[in-house]
Chain A
Amino acid sequence: MNQNVQQTETSRDDTARLTPLLEVRGLGKAFGGVHAVDDLSFRILPGEVYAVIGPNGAGKTTLFNLITGLYQPDQGEISLKGEAVQGLPPERLARLGMSRTFQNLQICMNMTALENVMLGRHLHLKRNFLAALLRWPSLRASERTCRAQAEELIRFVGCGDYVDADAAAMPYGALKRLEIARALATQPSILLLDEPAAGLNSTETAALEQLIRKVAAGGITVVLVEHDMKLVMSISDRVLVLDYGRKLAEGTPREIRDNPDVIAAYLGG
């Protein structure tokens, strides 16, 4: 969680100079005749907090699903750390340091909070089949470490009360944060949050904002889709505005707020 700590100055010159962590070029995906994402290009720099906003149906979640390998793109390229990754399945992308959360929670309700986060450590654990079958000491030691790390992460996201609780018994707000803990457990270099504040009250949203700041301060690049404009404008370094699957605008929160196209799209002008 402490790689590529970089101060991001968000002026245009710097953007051009730094190598992007994630680059999307000419990305397209259609469902039937509907272009959910259409010829979309942007770059995300290491260490920045990058928000994707847009009206409902603008293609934000489709974009996330394309980037994280749940959907196959029709056209275009996606590169992560300079490596072409479009079309790779999510389990391969996880190895390359990508992790995400979901708009409609994807929590394993048949497991405890702790086990959900321990699952996030999957790639970092010994997974020797014979060792598992015979419960070798080395495996038990690595499980103990894993448990301790998972507990720490659960406390980090503010769910310390629920370490041993069954996920199915946890309230919605805590599950949202638990999902972030699980994503962090993979030690990602880039974390995609799909509407992390959806369904949260203002206190919970404020706590979430602090959490995202802490995550970003740890050097993890954060990409988020979010409808809560206050949250977006306050934590984002740059914002991408989508409308009908295309890029409507991109820039700092201030630039976006003053952009007439954006205002028109949002107010239906």
Chain B
Amino acid sequence: MALRLPERVPGLPVLALVLLLLPLFLGNEFHLDIATQIALIAATVVGLNLLVGYGGQVSLGHAAFFGMGAYASAILTGTYGWTSIPALLCGALLVAVLAWTLGRPILRLKGHYLSMATLGMGIIIAIVINNEGWLTGGPDGLAVEPLTVLGAELSIFDHYSLLGLEVSGAMLWYGLAALLLLLAVWIAQNLVDSPIGRALRAVHGSEVAARVVGVDTSHYKLLIFVISAVYASVMGSFYAHYTGFITPQVASFEHSIELITMVVLGGMASTYGVILGAVLLMLLPQLLTDFQDYEMMMFGLILMLTMIFMPKGLLPTLSEAVRRLRPRPATTPASGQE
């Protein structure tokens, strides 16, 4: 086996361990809150990476799906009194149908045209959410009911007893977000390692090669577009329940750009890389609170610098550097011996 850091390292147990130990190092509820939000967004980005990193199809409108999931949960639980899980599933189904319908014509496009089409799609959905105030509360936003699971309400303001231990709602939420992230990574990696994932990466590598060996490339592009949209929708639903209040900002163009920047910065086609990207870019605004007005500029700058200096992204670039430092194992085939 060729040495391939970090995808071939048992990444999932390592990630689980990090997520398990993390609360020990988090000083207060505020840190825990940030960690929870990061986990939810990271899970979204893991889904987006399937489309952008592995499939090579750009989406500049992914926050729209995130926003739709968030608003579907908020409206169905708030206005219509549904419980959380059916509302979440209904939102995901809605997003899946929409992504499938829009994806069919959009994914025929390539490169810049595809980017523009997804950008337009995202903006339209954001405008609808902004303008249909009777349903969504408009620019003022919408309060969201706490998450209910099997009749029990999970609120960050309550305390719960779990196996005889007193646990804060915030800590339970962190645990839930961590589990969701692990699940998102597990599913994404299963998919990537399967014939479906191989076909998808081939679409990125050489679409014509994929087609001549029988891969129905339009089918796989559409499939992964829908999957990544559903990832965003489900995480949007949880995000809405967690924060308790959402505004059209969650579906905005700016949010789409944040998500794609996480993928590009962390490393396209590297699941752990994009998690790292999400962590860094979510922490950045916390570190630069004085420069809040320049946040979009910072994202733009990061995107540009990444493309210029490490187009493969942070984690792949780092792991390559580590590999180069290490003495070459004798078992790997020496290239260039032809």
Contacts and interface: CB of A to CB of B under 8 A. Distances in A.
Interface stretch (B89-97, B114-122, B186-194, B235-243): B186-194
Interface residues on B, range: 35 or more
Contacts of B337: 161
A170 B269 CA distance: 21
A261 B155 CA distance: 87
Most interface-central of A107, A132, A134 (chain B CB within 10 A):
A132
A137 interface: no
A171 interface: yes
A198 B217 CA distance: 29
B194 A132 contact: yes
Contacts of B29: none
Interface in B282-298: none
Interface string B164-183: 00000000000000000000
Most interface-central of A109, A125, A133, A171 (chain B CB within 10 A):
A133
A30 interface: no
Given A89-B211, A134-B190, A165-B2, A106 B206 contact: yes
Nearest to B214: A94
Contacts of A93: 212
Nearest to B219: A91
A122 B219 CA distance: 14
B191 A164 contact: no
Interface residues of A, number: 53
B213 A185 contact: yes
Contact of A108 (B187, B201, B332, B334): B201
B293 to A, nearest CB: 39
B204 to A, nearest CB: 6
Interface stretch (A41-49, A110-118, A212-220, A225-233): A110-118
Interface in B53-94: none
Interface string B309-336: 0000000000000000000000011111
A109 B206 CA distance: 8
A155 to B, nearest CB: 13
Contacts of A127: 194-196, 199
Interface of A: 68, 70, 89-91, 93-95, 99-100, 102, 106-112, 115, 118-123, 125-127, 129, 131-135, 139, 143, 146, 161-166, 169-171, 173-174, 182-183, 185-186, 204
